[in-house]
Amino acid sequence: MPTTDPAARRRILVVTPDTLGELMAGPAIRAWEIAQALSAIGDVRLISTNRVSDIADDRFHVAFADDTALKGHVEWAEVLVFQGHILRSHPWIKSTDTIIVADIYDPMHLEQLEQGKDLGPEQRLAVAIDTVEVLNDQLERADFLVCASEKQRDFWLGQLAGLARINPATYDRDPSLRTLLDVAPFGVQNEPPVQKRHGIKGTVPGIGPDDKVIVWGGGIYNWFDPLTLIEAVAIARKAHPDLRLFFLGAAHPNPNIPTMQMAVQARKRAEDLGLAGETVFFNDSWVPYADRADYLLDADLGVSTHYEHLETAFSFRTRILDYLWASLPIISTDGDTFADIIRDNDLGRVVPPEDVDALARALEELLYDEGARERIAANIAVYAQQHTWEHTLRPLVAFCADPSPAPDRVAGIVSERTRITNDLNKRIAGLEGSSSWKLTRPLRAASEWVAGRRRKL
């Protein structure tokens, strides 16, 4: 229930480095939903350090802030909830007394291993190291952290242990460590979807009102595998000429996110197979968050395909939550958190990575077997009710309603990693001119590149 006593309401600041507006990607959507949930127990300000346009809510304040303006917001707040590079871009936050919640639902250092493949060797190493340090900053300073799944939580506990955040002070307060790190996954919107107009069928040239539509519900990033999907569609359409594949978001709303190589390859594969504009379609903009039901409810099936690698193992595919919201049967590649969920709850089909034939068979079954579709849609409707934002964000709301600094921060415990890192840097500096100096060259080049990059932020 909302807290109406002004004295009991917390002052909560939610900060995202993503674009807030009608067109929002996953990080901004999550920040928006977090602000809505927290407005029930506090006075909330939702801030973007990137850009804000054409968006507002009566329940909380929405604004853009540069570094100077952000200082005023942080001084006002009792609790700061943030995601992404905020501590790296505004390092002074780490020395404030504000209680800090780090939202680490995205293991971006694992994403970077794939995303950085387009860089040169030294730059790729530099960005990889820098991304790890961006996350270490958060894990070292945060009073509370939330991630997206129990599997992720195990992963993050390992990193916290390596940073000495699992120590007598945090352990003695709570041996489960839930008061330091808990799970608050992406959620399904609390209200059911309502279609105001047709976003795809009978609207997109080449897609008729009776066609069977497969939707790819988000961006085309390097860690995904749209190529196997396009090839499977090429097979399935031979027997089903009414089959269509629609990529919902080919252009990212955040201008700082460049077009990724996989998006270019996907268009080329569709063109090479003669499918572009006839069977495979790319939305060249980004669907407004408030209008996405118009598109999802025009689809017959939602897909998420990816490769077998480390990013997949610890990912939490947020686009699948929209499929659940719209009661769409789901086809997903095996290996991520949702694969077992789909299997265990009969929400669709799971196929092996890069198996074109298995994917083509799954597409045909879930598009053209009406009995299977109806059964799965009913299962999804039941499952989705348990995973609304109201449910998924409960650990975060509970902490913000009664926030407290982490006990090891109060005790002044300093991370052993910081001391070791400082010693290591001194030792590397002392190697200059020795036979071992050449062995540190790649690391030194990477460090110099990172230092230059940070100066530009």
Spell out the domains of the chain, with CATH numbers in brackets.
Answer: 10-187+392-410 (3.40.50.2000), 212-387 (3.40.50.2000)
Q: Comparing C-alpha atoms, which of 329, 261, 227 is closest to residue 118?
A: 261
List all residues 6 or more positions away from 109 whose beta carbon is below 8 Å from its beta carbon: 128, 131, 132, 134, 135
> What pLDDT does residue 427 have?
56
Strand partners, 45: 13, 61
Per-residue pLDDT of the chain (457 residues; tens, 9 = 90+): 455 565 578 999 999 999 998 888 888 999 999 999 999 999 999 999 998 888 889 999 999 999 999 999 999 999 999 999 999 999 999 999 999 999 999 888 988 888 888 888 888 888 889 899 999 999 999 999 999 989 999 999 999 999 999 999 999 999 999 999 999 998 888 888 999 999 999 999 999 999 999 999 877 888 889 999 999 999 999 999 999 999 987 665 555 566 678 888 999 999 999 999 999 999 887 788 888 899 999 999 999 998 877 666 656 667 778 898 999 999 999 877 788 889 999 999 999 999 999 999 999 999 999 899 889 989 998 988 888 999 999 999 999 999 999 999 887 764 444 555 555 555 555 555 554 444 455 555 555 555 555 544 4
Strand partners, 6: none
- Find the Cα–Cα–Cα–Cα dihedral 11, 16, 22, 26, rounded to 10°: -120
Would you say the C-alpha torsion 325, 326, 327, 331 has a positive or negative sign? negative
> What pLDDT does residue 203 have?
94
CA distance 41 to 9: 6
Strand partners, 135: none
Q: Are 101 and 79 in contact (CB under 8 A)?
A: yes
> What SS3 state is found at 212?
strand
Residue 208 burial class via C-beta count within 10 angstroms: exposed 0-12, middle 13-18, buried 19 and up: exposed
CA distance 15 to 35: 9
Backbone angle region of 277, left / alpha / beta, with phi > 0 → left and psi within -120 to 50 → alpha: left
Q: Are 177 and 144 in contact (CB under 8 A)?
A: no
How many other C-beta atoms lie within 10 A of the C-beta of residue 116?
A: 18
Q: What is the Cα 362 distance to its own chain's centre? A: 26
> What pLDDT does residue 246 have?
96
Token digits of residue 272: 């090479």
> What pLDDT does residue 318 have?
72
